[in-house]
Structure 1
Amino acid sequence: MGMKAWLSGMVPIAAMVMMECLDVGLITLSKAAMSRGMNHFVFVVNYNALASLILFLPSFIFHRTKRPPLTFSHFCKFFLLGLPGFTVMQNWVFTGVSYSSPTLCYAMSCLIPAFTFLLAVAFRLEDLDSRSSRSQIKFLGTLISISGALIVTLYKGPPIGGGSISSNNHLLKTADNWVIGGLFFAAAGLSLSAWNTCQSKAPILTSGYPSNITVISFVTLFGAIQSTAVSLIAVRDSNAWKLRPDIELISIIYSVRTLVSAFSWVALIS
């Protein structure tokens, strides 16, 4: 009995570790595709649209008798959930990747727990007592996370082996892009933290609507619609919407697999 309970408790941890590994592959593949000309805005639209179609199948086939009717209020909540958790966060993440690298992306991900903690304190979801060792450790961890992210983003370091003036100018430009990418990653982390805080403040998955997979499907769909609106404004070149059957297609298929796996785990362990 004890071993069974221990294994059940390890399922969420194993799921999170697996998703982190899949995410590393996603960011790396997307960077490779962007290096070959794929637009990051179009990438977000494609994989959200395809993922929503895949997620809707089990939602309507297997859960149609288990979920209550959807109301206009539910659709409004789904739409609002899609803004910070999908449209804003994803577009900022992949914009940051286009400017920098997957390494910086995951170095900056340490800001997410720090931002979440600060927002939780601001909204009184977390108690901050300066005399409590628990609060002191959380506050210290937050400072370390923010300091580490700032060092990774701002410290450029000297050019290796000297080099010519032109190569040094290239290094300076690359460093500037690295900082821009870091700023986008920080904004994405803040957006995701806000999404997590909103879920704690008004948990739609538990009280607003009982069918998790249905919520996930509609939030993904609204994320695709919102991302399409952003892309139509930001992307003027019609050729950017053409999907080439190379690393671009592979990265989108892989991203859909990662997204569906993540949400399947959420629906399973929630």
Structure 2
Amino acid sequence: MEGRRTGSLPFVGMIMVVLVQASNMVVTKMAMSDGLNKYTLAFYCNALSSLALLPCPFIISRRSGSCPPLTFSVLGKIFLLALVGSASQICGYAGIDYSSPVLGTAMMNLTPAFTFILAVISRLEKVNWKSSSSQAKVVGTIVSILGALVIILYKGPTVLCSHSPASLVHPRHLVFLLSRQLNWVLGGFLLAAEAFLLSLWFIIQAYILKDYPVVLNIMFYLMFFATIFSGLLSLITVTELQSWILKFDARLIAILYSALVAGVFRVTLCTWCLKRAGPVFVSMFKPLGIVFAVGLGFIFLGEKLHLGSLIGAAVIAMGFYAVVWGKSREEEKTVEGGSGVDDGSLPSSSHKVPLLQSKRLSA
């Protein structure tokens, strides 16, 4: 029973990661609509996260005598990881600013495809096209992406409507509507770039964790370097002093939530799950985020809930469970075949703690 409970922890952890990510998109959208600058938001979030993680290197180095040394090579990889992560963060904030949290979580469904391609290229993932488990993972990912496309391309009739009155379309509003459409397209491209950079971020993390498997230390140096990057970018792009002044309002709450919950908690938990289950497993949970975003967007942003959103969410759920089944089946075969011997390869989603431990191990 203990083994089964331990094996399910990455599954539960990734559910929490995706829920926090979707809620963070809604919170930041509300704050940016209230006037919060996306560049100062990135800087304050990274700086606060760095301060929260500052004690970790000292505590871990004192209490863990087996902690590996932080070499210049590992530090350089963390520096690269922070650069990629900062670029992904800025693209994400800008994309949400131009579009909506629903589109943001929908575009994150590109992450499994990007990660899968990068993992195969870097030999982190192997695919056996004759295996039913591999087929289920591939088909589940495709089905999840198709479900996201349904939400984007097909709205359908309104199922639930917010209390805010619908705005009428007049001829003088056509230019404004065209501008909104262009912003939506630009936001989509920025969010697609975020998905690719996030996939690359997963791959780089997997290499770092092989040489230096100390998650909290990695997170501190990652946030420290990201603070430097976002601070330099903010100083160049933000010239108004008013954008740097914080007051106790929704913008400050958004910064605290993004830094402590979506930053420290979510990223650390995501890195721990990646260490246990591999980069492809982590990326497979991205399609589930749109289900949370649709509900949160309706509740807190007053967005209408359309029939297309419900159909797309159902399709995503089917693809999601197909991926989970394929993952569980693959890992059960790995355990039964006794292939858990460490061969020095990098962490792969195919050779980690099973989601559903076999009854033989839990006995």
Q: TM over 0.5: same fold? A: yes
Change (3 A) 1:27 1:165: same
| Mapping of residues 146-161 of structure 1, within 5 Å | none
1:245 to 226, 245, 248: 248
Q: Deviations over 1:192-241 (max 9, x none)?
A: 111222334x2x1232x242211111011111111112222222323211
- Residue number in structure 2 paired with 1:225: 228
Secondary structure of the residue that 1:64 maps to in structure 2?
helix
Asked if the contact 1:153–1:182 (Cα under 8 Å) also holds between the matched residues in 2, the reply is: no
- Residue number in structure 1 paired with 2:173: 167
> Letter of the aligned partner of 2:241 in structure 1?
S
| Mapping of residues 1-270 of structure 1, within 5 Å | 2=1, 4-66=2-64, 67-84=67-84, 86-127=85-126, 137-141=136-140, 143-144=142-143, 163-200=169-206, 202=207, 204-207=208-211, 209-258=212-261, 259-266=263-270, 270=275
Change (3 A) 1:162 1:243: closer
Give aligned-pair identity as a percent.
Answer: 38
Asked if the contact 1:78–1:219 (Cα under 8 Å) also holds between the matched residues in 2, the reply is: yes
Q: Deviations over 1:90-134 (max 9, x none)?
A: 110000011011111111111111111122233344445666655
Change (3 A) 1:62 1:132: closer
Asked if the contact 2:21–2:266 (Cα under 8 Å) also holds between the matched residues in 1, the reply is: no
Change (3 A) 1:216 1:174: same
1:266 to partner: Cα distance:
4.9
> Letter of the aligned partner of 2:100 in structure 1?
S
Q: In the aligned structure 2, how far is the partner of 1:62 from the partner of 1:122? A: 34
Root-mean-square deviation (Å): 2.8
Change (3 A) 1:21 1:59: same
Secondary structure of the residue that 1:170 maps to in structure 2?
helix
Q: In the aligned structure 2, how far is the partner of 1:153 from the partner of 1:181? A: 13
Asked if the contact 1:156–1:175 (Cα under 8 Å) also holds between the matched residues in 2, the reply is: no
Q: In the aligned structure 2, how far is the partner of 1:22 from the partner of 1:212? A: 19
Change (3 A) 1:224 1:142: same
Q: In the aligned structure 2, how far is the partner of 1:267 from the partner of 1:106? A: 19
Change (3 A) 1:228 1:114: same
TM-score, normalised to structure 1, is 0.84
Asked if the contact 1:42–1:240 (Cα under 8 Å) also holds between the matched residues in 2, the reply is: yes
> Letter of the aligned partner of 1:228 in structure 2?
G
Q: In the aligned structure 2, how far is the partner of 1:131 from the partner of 1:267? A: 31
Change (3 A) 1:93 1:125: same
Q: In the aligned structure 1, how far is the partner of 2:168 from the partner of 2:249? A: 37
Asked if the contact 1:153–1:178 (Cα under 8 Å) also holds between the matched residues in 2, the reply is: no
Q: Deviations over 1:36-92 (max 9, x none)?
A: 1110011011011110111121331244352344333332121111111x2011110
Asked if the contact 2:88–2:195 (Cα under 8 Å) also holds between the matched residues in 1, the reply is: yes
TM-score, normalised to structure 2, is 0.64
Q: In the aligned structure 2, how far is the partner of 1:262 from the partner of 1:188? A: 17
Q: In the aligned structure 2, how far is the partner of 1:246 from the partner of 1:232? A: 23
Q: Which moved more, 1:57-66 or 1:104-113?
A: 57-66
> Letter of the aligned partner of 1:78 in structure 2?
I
Q: In the aligned structure 2, how far is the partner of 1:112 from the partner of 1:268? A: 18
Unmatched segments (≥5 aa) in structure 1 = none
Q: In the aligned structure 1, how far is the partner of 2:169 from the partner of 2:191? A: 30
The number of aligned residues is 263
Q: Deviations over 1:149-203 (max 9, x none)?
A: 566667799xx99721122332222121111111111000000111222334x2x
Q: In the aligned structure 1, how far is the partner of 2:23 from the partner of 2:54? A: 25
